[in-house]
Amino acid sequence: MKGKVCMVTGANQGMGKAASLELAKLGATVIMVCRNERSGREAQKEIKRQSGNDSVELMIADLASQQSVRSMVQDFDSKFDKLHVLVNNAGGLFADKQSLLNEDGVEMNIAVNHLGSFLLTNLLLDKLIASKSGRIVNFSSMVMSKTLNMKTYKGEETAAPMKMYGQSKLAMIMSGYALVRRLEGTGVTVNALHPGFVKTESAMKSIPKFLRPVIGLFALSPEQGTKTAIYLVTSPELEGVTGKYYVNSKEKPSVPVSYDESKQESVWSYSAKLTGLA
Ligand SMILES: NC(=O)c1ccc[n+]([C@@H]2O[C@H](COP(=O)([O-])OP(=O)(O)OC[C@H]3O[C@@H](n4cnc5c(N)ncnc54)[C@H](OP(=O)(O)O)[C@@H]3O)[C@@H](O)[C@H]2O)c1
């Protein structure tokens, strides 16, 4: 990975941190995108020390805020000509009643898990195309919804947080499939994954307290959970392979509705509208 510039979102803990460390060990220039400067700095220091790689940069963005994503990309644009890898990892289950809508009036699971990554990816496309063989890797989940309901995005219809998490992961995978068509001939690939059940802060919070000790015994470590992402980023046999969904480093089908091209286009255009993209 020497000479390659790789951006990982949500890089201060969990799988984003584990992926950043692995890419730094492989010699890449790593851009860690974090929303919290203090924990981002701590993770950056630790990754530099453990990998022996000094080319690890920290950039700050809150994916719930489109303004914040835009200004981080401006910062990136001023420093880098190319981006070889974008790992859209940041996300989680947002269930706090105080913050169910973001500043743009969008439901929080959709805002962070889908629209933040959607906007970031679109703003970085020219840099990914400039690298000639850019790879976009999206952290989806096997709990992605089986039906699409875009009326929940701005709260015209409401659903429980776990259902909204599923909607956000479905939107991410469907807009990824729509992006594949737009990137034809550029050499840039877009693939998605489910990492397995991984013992991280957000995953453990999503299960009842009394079950945590038992479930924790069977859950993967963040290092194990990040293996599929590292495979999608680094593996030479995946050059040019695009529009696929992987579990345990094996290609798997995503839910049937995700392959409906007209619905993919609806998710794409509504997401573009909500993020103010042409
Ligand atoms: N763990 C699992 O079992 C599992 C299963 C399927 C899919 N996934 C997906 O895998 C990805 C990584 O999750 P994880 O389990 O590694 O979780 P984690 O350890 O809780 O890490 C989540 C990361 O996302 C960041 N983040 C959250 N909201 C953000 C925002 N508004 N702006 C910027 N960054 C934000 C967090 O930053 P802070 O530290 O500042 O909060 C943190 O760095 C997520 O997309 C998750 O949905 C996880």
Supply the range of the domain harboring residue 35: 5-274
Q: How far is 121 from 27, CA to CA, in rounded Å?
A: 23
SS3 state at 212 = helix
CA distances from 212 to 21, 91, 146 (A): 27, 20, 27
Q: How confident is the model over 181-196, as pLDDT tens digits?
A: 999 999 999 999 999 9
pLDDT surpasses 70 at 99: no
Which residue's CA lies nearest to atom 45 of ligand 1? 91
| Residue 165 annotated in active site | yes
The finding on whether 64 has its CB within 6 A of some atom of ligand 1 is yes
In the chain, how many domains are there?
1
The finding on whether 134 has its CB within 6 A of some atom of ligand 1 is no
pLDDT surpasses 60 at 98: no
The finding on whether 245 has its CB within 6 A of some atom of ligand 1 is no
> Residue 53: which CATH number?
3.40.50.720
- DSSP class of residue 169? H
Of residues 153, 165, 177, 231, which has the active-site annotation?
165
Q: Can you tell me which atom of ligand 1 is nearest the CA of 14? A: 19
Q: How confident is the model over 33-83, as pLDDT tens digits?
A: 999 999 999 999 999 999 999 999 999 999 999 999 999 999 999 999 999
Q: How confident is the model over 142-154, as pLDDT tens digits?
A: 999 999 999 999 9
Over range 215-238, report the average pLDDT.
Answer: 95
